[in-house]
Chains A and B, each alone.
Chain A
Amino acid sequence: MGVGIRGQDPRIQRYHAYANRIRPRPAVIRNAWWAFVVGGMISLLGQGITWGFQQVGLTENAAATPTSIVLVGLGALFTGLGWYDRIVKHGGMGGTLPITGFANAMVAPAMEFRAEGLIMGVGAKLFTLAGPVLVYGMATAFVMGAIRYALGIG
């Protein structure tokens, strides 16, 4: 009754079919609703901050940068206080995707790897999560920029 490694053993196929059938699934509808609510509230907050900067005389474009800075600062602060993981626990991608989630992805490893020192700990691990975002964000920006340039829009 040899135990196969992936082979053609029909028991394995029957087992996978059964496991896939009864495996508990994430509550997709509820998660999507909470992602919408949490992500929407963070966006609303960002919009409010932008309006605030416009009130003190910045144009809408000029207000974008300080708004991002404030949101990143808040995301970092909430991570440090141990609140942001609770926001994401309920909000899922609604908490991860906004720029506050980016701050969370930077600060969480910084806190986590303090014990390994400032160079090989915080320094080396700071971008473990944010790194892929930066790499592919910049790569996408480069490609989009090239397309705009080629089309003569840029």
Chain B
Amino acid sequence: MMIAEQIGEASYRTTEAYIAETAACVGPKEGEGPLGEYFDAVWRDEGVAHPSFERAEQAMLTQAQDTVLSKASRDWSEVDLVIGGDLMDQLIATDFVARRHQRPLLGVFSACASFAEALAAAAAMVRQPGPDTILVGASSHHLTAERQFRFPLELGYQRTPTASWTATAAGAVLVVARSTPVAIDAVTFGRVVDWGWKDANDMASAMAPAAVDTIQRHLGALGEKVDAYDAIVTGDLGAFGMKLAAHLADTEYDFDLGGKLEDCGHLLYDIERQDVHNGGSGAGCAAAVFSGYLYHNLRTGRWRRMLLAATGALFSPTSSQQGESIPAIAHAVTISWRGEQS
């Protein structure tokens, strides 16, 4: 049987991929946001009891992974493969939590798109007889990302209006090759799009073209239009980036994102009240928003079909200081509700 049929340059129809369960754990600020009720666990603080915030992030990712397995009544020994990523140098969240779970591991990195990349890879790989159970996850922590990418915390430099707020969040999804009500129908692996934007405090401008490029190629490969979807959810473009993506799609790519466009970084916070400027970002942002809110909409049948197109800004502090522009990437995953007939 054809497992993942190639339908475009980097697009695949995934006929055997289903989502068994999801879980999301977040920090206090994310819990206070509009999606608070959809998360499995909201931490009371950023993890101050841990020896370091890096360890706190690892604990949050572990909690999300353990939670998804317990919700699905599965044991770690049944997991054939773990695919995941985070923002830390050398993936020290994803890799270090693997010391405990001891399952085969593929670490992936595409910044805030890491979750979508992992989910797409899992959907393309999962099959009977195996690997038939793949655990996908991603995490980020506001305090570990700030110190790696920007400044120490107590240094109160002002943020620009286009800056995003790295979310303290972890999400985990159990992808299986056994029919469940929520199926992954197709994936498109993104390519690097660099339109020459350099300001690391404005990742939205760098990432919007990548989002539109991938969405267009994904819809083209599937022969679908935007109206086949209840929602097209980008990852971490924020309020400003959504405007850019909608404009770009409309003027340069001849498709109208219309009222279908949403964005994980835009959904996670109350942008006015929570002082997050352009919105949330981080590998854990799309992971937790999908695992909490978006999956809920599919699981309950409120949405029949959605496209997750998370974007990542692939710069490092070094490349930024050396004056390089910011390459961006977006990976797309179509997920649909198949009803309870399974």
Contacts and interface: CB of A to CB of B under 8 A. Distances in A.
A104 B205 contact: no
B155 A6 contact: no
Interface residues of A, number: 39
Given A82-B154, A84-B156, 8 more contacts: A6-B194, A15-B244, A24-B240, A80-B154, A87-B156, A88-B156, A88-B157, A112-B153
B149 interface: no
Q: How large is the interface on B (under 10, 10 to 19, 20 to 34, 35 or more residues)?
A: 35 or more
B158 A12 contact: no
B160 A26 contact: yes
Interface string B240-252: 1001100110011
Contacts of A12: 195-196
Interface of A: 3-6, 11-12, 14-16, 18-19, 22-26, 31, 79-80, 82, 84-89, 92, 95-96, 104-105, 107-109, 111-113, 115, 129
A69 to B, nearest CB: 21
Contacts of B51: 115
Contacts of B155: 85, 88, 104-105, 108-109, 129
A112 B147 contact: yes
Contacts of B251: 14, 18
A95 B202 contact: no
Nearest to A19: B205
A79 B162 contact: no
B240 A23 contact: yes
B34 interface: no
A31 B213 CA distance: 37
B151 interface: yes
Contact of B195 (A6, A24, A96): A6
A111 B152 contact: yes
B191 interface: yes
Contacts of B147: 112-113
A96 B156 CA distance: 8
B196 A112 contact: no
A interface: dominant SS = helix
Contacts of B205: 19, 23
Contact of A15 (B162, B202, B248): B248
B247 A18 contact: yes
Nearest to A11: B252
Contact of A112 (B152, B162, B247, B278): B152
Nearest to B158: A92
Given A14-B252, A18-B244, A24-B161, A3 B191 contact: yes
A95 B154 CA distance: 13
B194 A89 contact: no
Contact of A85 (B53, B154, B240): B154
B193 interface: yes
A106 to B, nearest CB: 10
Interface string B188-218: 0001011111000010010011000100000
A14 B53 CA distance: 42
B128 interface: no
A82 B143 CA distance: 14
> Which are the 9 A-B pairs with shortest beta-carbon distances?
A85-B156, A88-B156, A112-B152, A108-B155, A24-B161, A108-B152, A6-B196, A108-B154, A115-B52
B6 interface: no
B154 A16 contact: no
A14 B194 CA distance: 15
A53 to B, nearest CB: 28
B153 A108 contact: yes
Contact of A104 (B156, B194, B197): B156
B194 A5 contact: yes
A25 B194 CA distance: 23
B316 interface: no
B154 A23 contact: no
B63 interface: no
B297 interface: no
Contacts of B193: 3
B172 to A, nearest CB: 26
Interface in B205-241: 205, 208-209, 213, 240
18 contacts: A5-B196, A6-B325, A11-B252, A14-B251, A15-B244, A18-B247, A18-B251, A22-B240, A22-B243, A23-B205, A24-B162, A25-B161, A85-B156, A87-B156, A88-B158, A96-B157, A115-B53, A129-B151
